[in-house]
């Protein structure tokens, strides 16, 4: 394609999009659009933001409290940026609930203050909302429109030139909205992006809104006769100072002929943009006022101001508050600013109005601020906090307490592209585990019934880590205590929610861990970014107590022992490597474990019911064989458990699972993960010598001693390495590092 052909093709596409998106409308055309979708065009900023969250949909995700709703706008669909929010579903639901309160109240009357430790994703949450608004505003259902004023040239008014629409009866032009640039002397957009309906007088506007909503079966906007609630802003809002003066001047000029005034109204579609600060703005903790005015008509460059405006003084507002109107404004680290710099929020957050010297700004925007806990605590000590308290909605944003969710943050940003080398399995997982361990608090036994106090008091940090993530109680517990601890999972997770020093308030932040991961990637001792390099970096962090405040916490029964957490993370890593190498060697298949467990459960099911079962060999009906059950129970039953109670407990657990999941296929591996782990460990403990030999063969194969292996041994090693690569993501280099470390720590 030649350059000219390419330009013509692009030009045709841009023109088609411009027309399709209805970017410029006359006031009459906008009214037609409004009548076709009154609900979409009569939304205030809170309703719009709530629709953004609804548009991208929701999903249900597992959570320590059961399941929880996740808003997919926080996954930033269609974006290649790192704006995705990992976890924080409680915060997402709190924001949605507060927006719902604003909708029901008919006005945005409070500031949402996200508070939590540094690096807990407060800004990321708001950025995801902004990205969602940007994407939604480009869709037909998310179209936003604002006012502009058009003044044609004198020749056009006299009827000599122009391409405007004309009334067939009178021959007069009905709108100047579609005039070409040469036929326009002056175009004045509204900096506040006033709603186009503000051109209709308030009394008439109310009737217009109610009529249009009723025709669509939405009631009259009061929320009682329909599901849509008209906001005070749309129903009673007025033109900004500049637009009001232009409107009044034109009305006077035309002797009160409102239809002639409407000829000058151009309705323009606008799009939310973070980069160009349209409908969304971030205010950094600076010391400047957020809205100022400048006199417009004193500017000598405005030579084309039409005659009706010559005696009118116009003011043009600007600043973050103005740019964010009809959208969202974020006050980043609000409480780092001097109190006097944001005292205007006392009135603005409640009334939506900000007084300036020449006039009062009337704004429609959702206010979201962020603050860390230190600044919030200091703010609460000030006398002015009492005034702010009723105008602020506090939403807590703690550090994550589930390591798989924490790992998602690192997996998104720590890639072979960003670190310049292969990222080995478990490198980010080890970092996530350690980070979450630093944030956990020792449970408070006195908050629980007397019969479980001792059980709660004995929960270790790593046991709590797995209880939160997988709902898996420790192997050391009896079946009865296992069930009890699973029931208490939600209570443990929410135990400190009401406390100022809540769980997730302190510990390593995701930012600090990402820095550690990038540092580990530069370790020259390893060709890959692997868990060993990460563990070395975590150990280095533990030595720097002058930099990391969380390291100064007092150790309480193993909690806050950050050096020990490095060793715990190492042990978890070794467990995973050991399991993966075993599986890759194919010494026994997962199917064999499942078959053994299924046969055992079938046997104890007949035993519990007192029934006979058919012998697989002879076909004769006989009592369940006690010896076979005991052989399995020696391996899978916790020490000290009564066999009869253990069997009945297993059958009861299966029955409860069937009631909760009537349509699900029975997956014993998922229902009884501890049982399968004991089976694997027992089998490999018996085959430890063979296992050591096989691992030594792998190391020989990856060294200069490969020729010492027989052809059969080399084939076995190749199969093992292939499985490790395909199933788990190891390359030869990180596989060698992992097996060497495993041999040193567990098979020496």
Same domain, residue pair 67 and 90: yes
Asked which of 587, 611, 646 is the last residue of a domain, the reply is: 587
pTM confidence score: 0.84
**pLDDT band for position 579 (50/70/90)?**
confident
Asked which of 328, 363, 397 is the last residue of a domain, the reply is: 397
C-alpha separations of 370 from 279, 334, 338, 390, 555 in Å: 19, 6, 15, 17, 31
The helix, strand and coil proportions of the chain, stated in percent and rounded to the nearest 5, come to: 55, 10, 35
Q: Provide the pLDDT for residue 162.
A: 36
Q: Taking a C-beta distance cutoff of 8 angstroms, is the pair 283, 45 a contact? A: no
Same domain, residue pair 670 and 560: no
Q: Taking a C-beta distance cutoff of 8 angstroms, is the pair 312, 284 a contact? A: no
Joined tokens for residue 130: 């902004």
Same domain, residue pair 386 and 274: yes
Q: Give tens-digit pLDDT for 124-165.
A: 999 999 999 999 999 999 999 999 999 888 766 654 333 345
**Is 488 within a domain?**
no
Q: Give tens-digit pLDDT for 596-641.
A: 888 888 888 888 888 888 877 777 888 888 888 888 888 888 877 8
For all residues of the chain together, what is the average pLDDT?
A: 85
Calculate Rg over the CA atoms of the chain: 34
Greatest alpha-carbon pair distance for the chain in Å reads 110
Asked which of 587, 606, 635 is the last residue of a domain, the reply is: 587
Q: Give tens-digit pLDDT for 413-467.
A: 899 999 999 999 999 999 999 999 999 999 999 888 888 888 999 999 999 999 9
231-247 mean pLDDT: 90
Q: Provide the pLDDT for residue 41.
A: 92
521-542 mean pLDDT: 93
- Rounded distance between C-alpha atoms, residue 482 and residue 480, angstroms: 5
Same domain, residue pair 532 and 663: no
Same domain, residue pair 537 and 682: no
Q: Provide the pLDDT for residue 299.
A: 46
- Rounded distance between C-alpha atoms, residue 391 and residue 111, angstroms: 6
The domain tally of the chain equals 3
Q: Could you identify the residue written with the tokens 């939310």?
A: 272
Same domain, residue pair 140 and 151: yes
**pLDDT band for position 347 (50/70/90)?**
confident
Q: Provide the pLDDT for residue 584.
A: 86
Q: Which of 217-226, 539-548, 648-657, 709-718 has the lowest mean pLDDT?
A: 217-226
CA atoms within 13 A on the CB side of 147: 24
What is the chain's length?
748
Q: Taking a C-beta distance cutoff of 8 angstroms, is the pair 35, 212 a contact? A: yes
Which domain covers residue 250, as residue numbers?
19-397
Q: Taking a C-beta distance cutoff of 8 angstroms, is the pair 290, 361 a contact? A: no
């Amino acid at each position: 394609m030649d350059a000219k052909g390419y330009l013509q093709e692009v030009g045709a596409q841009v023109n088609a999009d411009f027309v399709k998106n209805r970017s410029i409308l006359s006031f009459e055309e906008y009214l037609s659009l409004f009548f076709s979708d009154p609900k979409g065009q009569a939304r205030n900023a809170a309703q719009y933001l709530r629709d953004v969250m609804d548009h991208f949909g929701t999903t249900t995700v597992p959570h320590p409290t059961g399941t929880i709703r996740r808003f997919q706008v926080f996954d930033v669909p269609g974006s290649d940026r790192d704006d995705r929010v990992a976890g924080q579903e409680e915060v997402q639901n709190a924001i949605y609930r507060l927006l719902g309160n604003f909708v029901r109240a008919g006005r945005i009357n409070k500031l949402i203050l996200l508070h939590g430790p540094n690096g807990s994703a407060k800004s990321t949450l708001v950025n995801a909302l902004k990205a969602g608004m940007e994407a939604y505003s480009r869709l037909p259902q998310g179209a936003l429109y604002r006012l502009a004023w058009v003044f044609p040239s004198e020749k056009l008014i006299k009827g000599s030139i122009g391409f405007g629409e004309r009334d067939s009866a009178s021959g007069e032009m009905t709108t100047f909205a579609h005039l070409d640039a040469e036929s326009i002397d002056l175009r004045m957009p509204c900096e506040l992006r006033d709603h186009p309906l503000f051109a209709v007088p308030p009394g008439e506007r109310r009737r217009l809104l109610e009529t249009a909503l009723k025709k669509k079966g939405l009631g009259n906007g009061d929320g009682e006769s329909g599901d849509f609630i008209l906001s005070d802003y749309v129903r009673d809002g007025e033109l900004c100072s500049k637009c009001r003066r232009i409107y009044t001047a034109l009305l006077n000029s035309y002797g009160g002929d409102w239809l002639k005034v409407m000829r000058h109204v151009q309705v323009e579609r606008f799009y939310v943009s973070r980069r160009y600060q349209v409908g969304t703005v971030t205010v950094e903790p600076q010391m400047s006022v957020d809205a100022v005015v400048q006199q417009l008509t004193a500017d000598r460059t405005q030579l084309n101001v039409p005659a009706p405006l010559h005696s009118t003084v116009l003011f043009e507002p600007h600043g973050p508050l103005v740019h964010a109107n009809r959208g969202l404004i974020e006050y980043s680290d609000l409480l780092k600013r001097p109190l006097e710099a944001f005292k205007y929020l006392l009135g603005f957050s409640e009334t939506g109005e900000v007084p300036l010297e020449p006039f009062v700004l009337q704004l429609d925007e959702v206010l979201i601020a962020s603050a860390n806990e230190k600044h919030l605590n200091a703010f609460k000590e000030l006398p002015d906090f009492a005034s702010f308290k009723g105008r602020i909605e506090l939403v807590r944003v703690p550090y994550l307490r589930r390591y798989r969710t924490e790992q998602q943050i690192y997996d998104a940003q720590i890639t072979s592209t960003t670190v310049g080398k292969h990222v080995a399995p478990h490198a980010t997982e080890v970092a996530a585990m350690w980070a979450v361990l630093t944030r956990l608090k020792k449970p408070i036994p006195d908050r629980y019934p007397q019969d479980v106090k001792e059980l709660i008091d004995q929960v270790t940090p790593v046991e709590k880590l797995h209880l939160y993530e997988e709902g898996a109680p420790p192997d050391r517990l009896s079946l009865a205590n296992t069930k009890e601890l699973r029931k208490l999972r939600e209570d443990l997770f929410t135990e400190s929610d009401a406390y100022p020093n809540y769980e997730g308030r302190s510990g390593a932040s995701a930012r600090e861990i990402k820095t550690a991961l990038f540092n580990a990637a530069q370790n020259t001792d390893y060709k890959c970014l692997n868990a060993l390099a990460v563990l070395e970096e975590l150990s280095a962090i533990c030595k720097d107590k002058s930099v990391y405040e969380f390291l100064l916490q007092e150790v309480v029964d193993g909690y806050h022992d950050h050096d020990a957490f490095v060793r715990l993370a190492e042990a978890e890593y070794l467990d995973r490597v050991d399991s993966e190498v075993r599986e890759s060697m194919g010494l026994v298949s997962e199917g064999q474990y499942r078959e053994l467990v299924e046969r055992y459960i079938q046997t104890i099911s007949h035993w519990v019911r007192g029934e006979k079962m058919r012998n697989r060999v002879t076909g004769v009906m006989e009592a369940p064989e006690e010896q076979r059950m005991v052989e399995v129970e020696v391996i899978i039953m916790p020490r000290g458990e009564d066999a009869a109670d253990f069997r009945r407990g297993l059958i009861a657990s299966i029955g409860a699972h069937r009631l909760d999941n009537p349509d699900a296929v029975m997956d014993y591996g998922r229902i009884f993960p501890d049982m399968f782990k004991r089976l694997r460990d027992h089998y490999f403990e018996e085959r430890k010598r063979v296992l050591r030999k096989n691992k030594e063969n792998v190391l020989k194969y990856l060294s200069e001693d490969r020729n010492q292996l027989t052809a059969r041994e080399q084939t076995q090693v190749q199969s093992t390495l292939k499985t490790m690569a395909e199933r788990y993501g190891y390359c030869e280099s990180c596989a060698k590092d992992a097996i060497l470390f495993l041999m040193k720590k567990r098979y020496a």
